[in-house]
Amino acid sequence: MKDTNLLHINSINISALDSLLEYQRVYINNILGAINPELMRARTNKIINCKVETPQQIWETLENAYNFYSTGNYAGVIIEEEFIVTVDWSFESTTVGLNVSVTSKSISKANEAIATIEQTLSEYLVEDALAMYTILMTNGSDKLTQTYYQDVNAVEFNHVALPFIDDVDAYIESYLNSHAPLLILQGEAGTGKSTFVKKLLSVMQTKVMQKHNDFKVTYSFDEEIFFCNDFYARIIYDDYDVLVLEDINQVILKNQDEGGIDPINKFLSVTDGIISKYKKIIITTNIESRQYINPLLQRPGRCYDVIPFRSLEREEIDDLCDSCAPELNLQTESINVSEFYARCNSERNTKLIQTRVGF
């Protein structure tokens, strides 16, 4: 049964707490620090994956075991004497991914709380955890909204589609083993950048999950996050393996600071010294050439490489056709990877229809 006395410290009552948390979940721990400041000394975070019929099972299990208060359909807070826990979750099919953030008097106490929660949910735990994605977006204020989803990072990948990278597997291995955190993929839309990211994440997930049973990706396609203070707080405090920023164009341009504040300076100030070789940052951009990208991003030691993605040329088109679509007869001198596969699918669908109707 809930101990409501825990909520009547410093004039915070249940209804006021619910109202506050509904709109300020990002800062839940700061709000609850008023209840017991001693519990704010250490923080840890973990993704816990469960298999259930409905999310309600998780909710009810937490309510029965702890002083658990819902702050919405997909969020809640646990308030105990030894720890405070905020919980957000996403629900995909029968899998629930819980993002559990614990604050306590020490790291050891916080880790004990994580273990206790896992024990409470033991009958639902997924043995083979999936990759957990946290999608960050701006919402018109200085706070970010977030959405979670899970993925296995499985990807069908044809190395012939990226002839400008000599050995894709060796390249990815070299990047992951380097101390440089940042990799920039530059090129027009449709040239294979997102597919390469998926391949890289697939390899990285395999490596990470050999050491621990979760792989966490923080992802955004919203350039405005560079102007949001909450973004930098998450870079520092959130637990993730890789930060993926897709379609970032304006904010990484050279001389962006003329007439205003350069968000890249702030970004680099926060990431330098915090990101280790075991945390990576991947930026994709449609900027025409690397010469237009802010040179601060390209500094050796900070940036592993800038890969120029491009369309395929005549001989490369023939090689890719031979590799995966010998029936495709493309009479063009240049085509990007996205259009190539669209043409493949169109050709195959046309032949399938012709076969079915008797042509």
Tokens representing 314 are 């005549």
pLDDT at 275: 62
Strand 303-308's sheet: what is its strand order?
144-151, 131-138, 215-220, 242-245, 280-285, 182-186, 303-308
The domains located in the chain, with CATH, are 4-127 (3.30.310.50), 133-308 (3.40.50.300), 312-357 (no CATH)
pLDDT at 254: 79
Residue type, 326: P
Cβ-count burial 159-179 (b if 16+ within 10 Å, e if not): eebbeebeebeebbeebbeee
According to DSSP, the residues that pair with 313 across neighbouring strands are 334
pTM for this prediction: 0.65
Q: Whole-angstrom Cα distance, residue 64 to residue 216?
A: 29
Strand pairing category for 182-186 and 280-285: parallel
Tokens representing 283 are 């930026």
List per-block mean pLDDT (blocks of 10 residues) for the chain, which spans 359 residues.
37 42 45 56 74 80 86 74 77 69 79 88 74 82 75 71 92 93 95 92 84 83 91 84 94 68 84 71 95 93 94 92 83 90 70 36
pLDDT at 40: 58
Radius of gyration of the chain (CA): 24
Question: Nearest CA to 213 among 46, 44, 27, 33?
Answer: 46
pLDDT at 336: 93
pLDDT at 51: 79
pLDDT at 33: 53
Residue identified by tokens 């992802």 is: 219
